[in-house]
Amino acid sequence: MDPIVVTSTEAATGKTAVSLGIAQLAKAAGHSVGYMKPKGTRLQSATGKTRDEDPMLARELLDLDAEMHELEPIVYTPTFIEEAIRGREQPEELRERVLENYEKLAEDRDLMVVEGTDRLSTGGIVDLTDPEIAEMIGANVVLLSRYDEADDVDEIIAAAEQIGDNFAGVLFNAVPDSELDQLTTDVVPFLESRGIDVLGVMPRVKELAGMTVGELAERLGAEVLTTDVSTDVFIERFSVGAMSAEGALTQFRRTQNAAMITGGDRSEIVTAALQASGIKCIILGGGFRPTGAVLGEAEKRGVPVLLLQSDTRMAIDRAEDVLQSGPTRNPETVDRMEKLLEDHADVDLLIGE
C-alpha cells in the first residue's frame, strides 16, 4: 500500500482527526499502520518545543512504540526558520533525517499515514514542503479542504497543480449544510471534469467544527465578565476589531459563529460587534474592563464577554492559536471522524485498497 500524506489548503481543516481517522480505518481493516508528522508546527512558544499532542495521540491510538523525535523529526519553529535562513540548517541533512526516520517507522508496516502542515508552502525554506516530502517517499497526497464559497475552488486547483503526479484527490471536510447542494451538484462535477478526484464530502459536525465559548475561555485562561449568559455557544473562527466602528460593523456582518477580539478600551468596536448576529463572543485584551453599559448590552443580547490580561496583540495570537488548533485532541474526536469518513468518503480509495 502506498503511503499517504494528508495536507490542507488552510489551517483548522481537521487534518489531525482525518489523518488518524484514516489510520484507524486501515487498522480496523486488518492492516499494520504507522504514523509520522515530519514537521511539528504546534508551538508552545517561538523558541519552545512543539506541544506534541498530535504524535502523542497517534502513538496511543495506533499502539506505536516509536520515540517522539522519530515521529516528529523537525520542530518547525520561528527560531528554526531563522537558523535555516542563516545557513545553520542544511536542507540535505534535514531530508536525510526525515527519510531515515520515515524508513524506520515504515518497516514492517502495511501503510504509513504522514500528517502534513496547514499550508503547502510550509517547509519550502529547507526543501521539505508536503509535496516535496510526498515525492521523496513516494506517497499519495490527500488534500483536505473546507468549502465556504465558490472561490475556494481556485485554491484546490492551484494545490493540485503544485502537488503534481502524487495528487490523489481532494477531501472536503466540515461543509456547512447551506453549501452541500452547490458543492455536490456543481463543484464536484466541475473538479472531476478538470481531472481532480473528489474523495469525499463530509458535512459540518458542530462538535468537530469549533469549540464552545466555555472551552475557549478555559483554554485561554480568560475571565468571563458577563453573568447569566450561556457559554455553550460554538465558535468556529475569530474576527479582529482593529478598524473604525463603521468599517468593523461591515466586516462583522459578513462572518458567522465568530469571536471578536479587540482592546477593552475600544467600546465603539464592541458596540458594533453586538449589532452583528454572527458575532457570538467578545474577547477583550489588555485587561481593560468595558463600561457597565457595554456589559449590560452584551448580557441583554446574550453575548458572552471574555477578558484577558495580556495585551491585545498577544490576545489575538493566543486566540488564533487556540481556535486553529480546533477541538481538544482526544480518542473520541478521532472516533467521530472515523465514522464520518466511513459514511461520507471513499475509504477504499483513501487507504489504497
pLDDT in tens, 90-134: 999 999 999 999 999 999 999 999 999 988 999 999 999 999 999
| CATH 3.40.50.300 domain span(s) along the chain | 4-208+327-351
Round the average pLDDT of the chain to a whole number and report it: 89
From the number of C-beta atoms within 10 Å of its C-beta (0-12, 13-18, 19+), residue 87 rates as exposed
Q: pLDDT tens, 35-52?
A: 999 998 765 544 445 455
Q: Which of 59-68, 146-155, 232-241, 280-289 has the lowest mean pLDDT?
A: 232-241
Task: Report pLDDT for 46.
Answer: 41
3-class secondary-structure state, position 255: coil
Task: Report pLDDT for 327.
Answer: 62
pLDDT higher at 321 or 28: 28
In angstroms, the CA 283 to CA 260 distance is 6
CATH homologous superfamily for 211-324? HprK N-terminal domain-like (3.40.1390.20)
Interstrand relation of 305-307 and 279-285 (parallel, antiparallel or unpaired):
parallel
Select from 3.30.360.10, 3.40.50.300, 3.40.640.10, 3.30.420.10 the CATH code of 4-208+327-351. 3.40.50.300
Q: pLDDT tens, 58-90?
A: 999 999 999 999 999 998 888 899 999 999 999
In angstroms, the CA 132 to CA 127 distance is 7
Reported as a pLDDT band with limits 50, 70 and 90, residue 148 is confident
111 beta partners = 33
- C-alpha grid cell for residue 27? 487498522
Nearest alpha-carbon partner for 115 in 156, 81, 76 = 76
Task: Report pLDDT for 47.
Answer: 44
| CATH 3.40.1390.20 domain span(s) along the chain | 211-324
